[in-house]
């Protein structure tokens, strides 16, 4: 995730630099799907901080692959290699995206009790055909001992010096073109549509001289498209830019896709609905 303040990027950069000065390896979690978190980390933070990552780890689960293969929510925890085979196209796209940055990923398969050897072996073998190492990770069950194989695989990639990180786009491109590159190259969109409001804002940005800012996309993490119901690897879709928000202090432009809401995730019934204050100033519902 990228917070909307320059201080976040600066502090994050300094934290990473401090870690690198004190440790052999520094790991950064870039939240949500790699089409969002990793893209922003690689195109924004690494560029600002002059960082060149030596390895990238894609975290996958068979539950997620079943989901992207068409399984219903009640079927996520039930072994089904057909769903996994179909859903692998989603992971394959993420692997391809990493390569667009010059990075060959290591796939960490977070293991759950419902996972079968047949499903796990399928993913491992399919990744191998793409030139990618996939490793089963059992950290939740065995702690550090359950992630030893994963750590060794990541170190092997680092020591091979085969990764050559580079940005996906040049910041000097227009905001419109930067968005089109992200949408077509990372999401797999066919085209990008800008609303009337977004087009008007682009003209204002040109006057303000902020075309050189990178773009921070606000899009659902549940699909490569803006429609969370389009699972797997959707094709022939358009990314619709509803509007922009200029984060001048942070130094980037936020492009809001479709009906995306930028509020934090909320439960079905927010706790605030159970809070009240009476005429005497007594507050209830805080616990």
CATH label of the domain that carries residue 207: 3.10.410.10
Domain end marker among 136, 160, 184:
160
| Whether 111 and 186 share a structural domain | no
88, 126 in Cβ contact below 8 A?
Answer: yes
- The dihedrals phi and psi of 136, each to the nearest 5 degrees, come to -75, 130
**What is the reported pLDDT for 7?**
46
Domain end marker among 160, 195, 215:
160
Is the residue at 128 inside a domain? Answer: yes
| Whether 26 and 108 share a structural domain | yes
**What is the reported pLDDT for 1?**
52
Query: For residue 4, is pLDDT > 60?
Result: no
Between strands 57-60 and 276-277, the pairing is unpaired
**What is the reported pLDDT for 10?**
62
Is the residue at 250 inside a domain? Answer: yes
Report the C-alpha gap between 279 and 258 in whole angstroms.
Answer: 42
- CA-CA distances (angstroms) from residue 153 to 148, 231, 259? 9, 29, 40
CATH number for the domain harbouring residue 154: 3.40.50.300
For the chain, the domain total comes to 2
| Whether 28 and 109 share a structural domain | yes
Q: Kindly compute the dihedral angle of the four CA atoms of residues 269, 3, 213, 190, in this order, to the nearest 10 degrees.
A: -40
**What is the reported pLDDT for 8?**
56
| Whether 64 and 117 share a structural domain | yes
Q: What is the pLDDT confidence band of residue 211, given thresholds at 50, 70 and 90?
A: very high
55, 62 in Cβ contact below 8 A?
Answer: no
SS3 content of the chain, % helix, strand, coil (to 5): 45, 15, 40
Is the residue at 283 inside a domain? Answer: no
In this predicted model, what pLDDT tens digit does every residue of 48-75 receive, in sequence order? 888 999 999 999 999 999 999 999 999 9
| Whether 23 and 76 share a structural domain | yes
Is the residue at 263 inside a domain? Answer: no
Is the residue at 202 inside a domain? Answer: yes
In this predicted model, what pLDDT tens digit does every residue of 70-124 receive, in sequence order? 999 999 999 999 999 999 999 999 999 999 999 989 999 999 999 999 999 999 9
Residue scoring higher pLDDT (264 or 118):
118
276, 285 in Cβ contact below 8 A?
Answer: yes
In this predicted model, what pLDDT tens digit does every residue of 140-186 receive, in sequence order? 889 999 999 999 999 999 999 989 999 999 999 999 999 999 999 99
| Whether 33 and 151 share a structural domain | yes
Query: Model's pTM, two decimal places?
Result: 0.88
Q: What DSSP character marks residue 42?
A: I
Average pLDDT over residues 8-16: 72
| Whether 250 and 183 share a structural domain | yes
| Whether 109 and 232 share a structural domain | no
Report the C-alpha gap between 207 and 101 in whole angstroms.
Answer: 31
Domain range for residue 222?
A: 175-257
């Amino acid at each position: 995730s990228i917070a909307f303040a320059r201080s976040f990027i600066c502090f994050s950069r300094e934290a990473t630099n401090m870690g690198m000065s004190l440790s052999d390896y520094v790991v950064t979690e870039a939240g949500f799907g790699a089409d969002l978190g990793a893209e922003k980390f690689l195109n924004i933070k690494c560029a600002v901080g002059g960082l060149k990552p030596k390895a990238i780890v894609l975290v996958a689960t068979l539950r997620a692959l079943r989901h992207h293969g068409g399984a219903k929510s009640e079927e996520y925890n039930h072994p089904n290699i057909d769903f996994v085979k179909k859903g692998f196209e989603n992971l394959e796209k993420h692997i391809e995206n990493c390569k667009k940055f010059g990075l060959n990923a290591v796939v960490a398969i977070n293991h759950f009790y419902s996972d079968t050897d047949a499903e796990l072996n399928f993913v491992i073998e399919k990744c191998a055909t793409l030139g990618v190492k996939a490793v089963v990770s059992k950290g939740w069950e065995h702690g550090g001992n359950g992630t030893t194989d994963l750590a060794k695989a990541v170190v092997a990639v680092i020591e091979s010096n085969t990764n050559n990180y580079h940005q996906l786009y040049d910041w000097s491109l227009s905001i419109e073109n930067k968005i089109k590159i992200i949408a077509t190259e990372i999401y797999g969109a066919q085209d990008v549509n800008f609303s009337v409001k977004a087009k008007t804002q682009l003209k204002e940005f040109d006057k303000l001289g902020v075309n050189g800012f990178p773009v921070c996309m606000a899009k659902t993490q549940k699909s490569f498209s803006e429609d969370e119901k389009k699972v797997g690897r959707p094709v022939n879709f358009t990314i619709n830019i509803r509007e922009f928000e200029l984060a001048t202090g942070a130094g980037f432009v936020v492009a809001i896709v479709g009906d995306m809401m930028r509020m934090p995730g909320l439960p079905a019934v927010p706790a605030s609905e159970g809070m009240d204050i009476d005429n005497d100033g007594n507050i209830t519902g805080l616990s």
